[in-house]
Amino acid sequence: MKLSVRGEYALRALLVLGLNYGDHVVRIQTISDDQKIPKRFLEQILNDLKSAGIVESKRGLAGGYRLARHPRDITLAAVVRHIEGALAPVSCVSERYYEKCSCPDETRCPIRNVMKEVREAVVKIVERVTVAELCERAQRLKEEPLSALDYII
């Protein structure tokens, strides 16, 4: 998995929507200001997330976006898969975006074998982490003093 700027923006926008989860709707402009994301670009991205059923919108004055589901039901995996495509490092180990690769014998390819492990490790994390957890982590990070690790890693 490699996140493009687009994917990163998507996650950051969803974080804002998660932190503001409730009845009301958040304007693009607000998210754009808060997260320093180019507005027109963000429009595209949110629209895209809407078509994926991750987000819903209200039009007109006092319009904006909100999460289409509970933050607890939106996994990072779903978001990244929709924006970026495969989570796997090579498409021959991808479940949803599988593509045959050119190697002589895919079923006995040791590289593929390792890449499967990588894929599993990544999926295990992003399938477990939801927007709700992102919000909790944000809370925790705000309260906790910074650990030394933050500077090293």
Partner DNA sequence: TAGAATCTCTACTGTTTCACTCAAGTTTAT
Partner DNA sequence: ATAAACTTGAGTGAAACAGTAGAGATTCTA
Contacts of 9 (CB under 8 A, 6+ apart): 35, 37, 41, 42, 45
Provide the minimum distance between the beta carbon of 64 and its own copies in the complex, in angstroms, as a whole number.
20
Residue 79 near its own copies by CB under 8 A: no
- Judged by beta carbon, residue 43 or residue 73, the one nearer DNA is 43
Residue 13, token pair as written in the block: 């926008």
Provide the minimum distance between the beta carbon of 105 and its own copies in the complex, in angstroms, as a whole number.
9
Question: d(Cα 28, Cα 40) in Å, to the nearest integer?
Answer: 9
Provide the minimum distance between the beta carbon of 36 and its own copies in the complex, in angstroms, as a whole number.
5
Residue type, 84: E
Contact 131, 18 (CB under 8 A): yes
Stretch that binds DNA, among 20-28, 118-126, 127-135, 138-146 (CB under 7 A): 20-28
Interface residues with DNA (CB under 7 A)?
4-6, 25, 27-29, 38, 40-41, 43-44, 46-47, 50, 57-65
